[in-house]
Amino acid sequence: MNSKTTYINSLEIATSAVNEFNYNKDIGYLTFVTPIGYISGKFFELKEIDLSSELGIEKELKKQIDEQGKFDIDVFSIANGVYESIKSKDNKYGSCAIVLEDVTISSQTGNYHSNQFVIFTDQIIGVIPAKL
């Protein structure tokens, strides 16, 4: 994990803790300053999926479904599992993406809302520890 991502993760934890003690309804929200504008959201909780085995994605997912008795896996968790598997084989990759939920994108062209959004850390100029 690169230092920018580590700091952002730490800031999310600290912001959530402070907001919880202050009874703030926007617990966990951060606003990212980017070249296109502001992106507000909270961290999407990824499920742990180990895709490092030789089973392959389909067999590993089937195994998890059989263990849980249902399909409760999202595309971001699968992508993160694939990414972590690739990263473990080639250490030159650092964590470069943050998955957000309940996202508002504010730019010069208007405001947009999305259920989920992936922001790449190299596009982050700064972080505001609140929802705008």
CATH code (residue 77): 2.30.30.100
- Domain total in the chain: 1
Residue 93: the pLDDT is: 46
pTM equals 0.66
pLDDT at residue 98 tops 90: no
Task: Say if residues 87 and 97 touch (Cβ distance below 8 Å).
Answer: no
Task: Say if residues 8 and 121 touch (Cβ distance below 8 Å).
Answer: yes
Q: What average pLDDT score do residues 49-72 get?
A: 70
Bridge partners of residue 127, in order along the sequence: 32
For every residue of the chain, DSSP letters joined together read --HHHHHHHHHHHHHHHHHHHTT-TTTTEEEEEETTEEEEEEE--PPP----STT-HHHHHHHHHHHHTS----HHHHHHHHHHHHHHH-TT----EEEEEEEEEEETTEEEEEEEEEEEGGG--EEESS--
Measured CA to CA, the distance from residue 105 to residue 103 in angstroms comes to: 7
Mean pLDDT is lowest, of 43-47, 57-61, 92-96, for 92-96
Structural domain that includes position 33: 3-128
